[in-house]
Amino acid sequence: MALDTHAKAISELASQAAMQYFRGTLGIEFKQDQSPVTQADKDVEAKVRSYLNRYFPDHGVFGEEEGQDTGDGRHMWVIDPIDGTRSFLSGHPLFGFLLAYLVDGHPQLGVVGMPALNETFLGVLGKGASLNGQPIHVSDKSHLDQAILYVNEGDKLYSDHPDLFNRLMQSGQTRRFAYDCYPHALLAAGHVDAVVDYDLQPYDFLALSPLIESAGGVMTDWQGRPLELSSNGAVVSAATPALHAELLELLNP
């Protein structure tokens, strides 16, 4: 079975597990940093790990809830069982499931599953990107003043980088605030042109970069560097290289 076929099967497994809890009894706990975790987070990750251990016993696995198993040191799967637990626990349908496959530390495949929307985005480097099996591609927008710009984690940006926040509020033709992975998936599908995101963990972004790049877009950190396990979690996605370059200038005046 091809890797992309496994990825689709894992996304379906994760979606079914998450939807058994959505808008139901969640069993909420809080970590040391006060971020929430539900029984659904734990159950989804456990089911995905079981699948990966069955079919890829030599591969490493890094999950938000259970940490990292290094495996053979070359191949690694990275899991965010529920990207947007705060959305999930409040009944908001824009939570996702994220799965990345890395070789020698470089993302090669990314899945964004949206269980409540019945949508699965898949990107494989060199093979293109799809939504529910149909090809998708980024937009052709190359100027920020013509772009639909999403700002993720706006409250944290406002608190930590008020000058940058103010610049963002004067940018783009249309601006929206959001959280979680969905704006990046919408960018891969051509509906959104740019996303500025902040304070992420590797399992939050490693599935997004191969999806966006496979759809023809660009995703890096704020300094324009490729994303990897050690990236600092401040990321930017853009539909075109020209738009990406304009965003980097905005982020680094």
Q: What is the pLDDT of residues 34-44, one digit of tens each?
A: 566 678 889 99
Confidence of residue 156 (pLDDT cuts 50, 70, 90): very high
Both tokens of residue 225?
């560097």
d(Cα 132, Cα 129) in Å, to the nearest integer?
A: 10
What pLDDT digit, counting tens, does each position of 116-150 carry?
999 999 999 999 999 999 999 999 999 999 999 99
Q: Is the pLDDT of residue 209 over 60?
A: yes
Q: What is the pLDDT of residue 33?
A: 57
* Model pTM score: 0.94
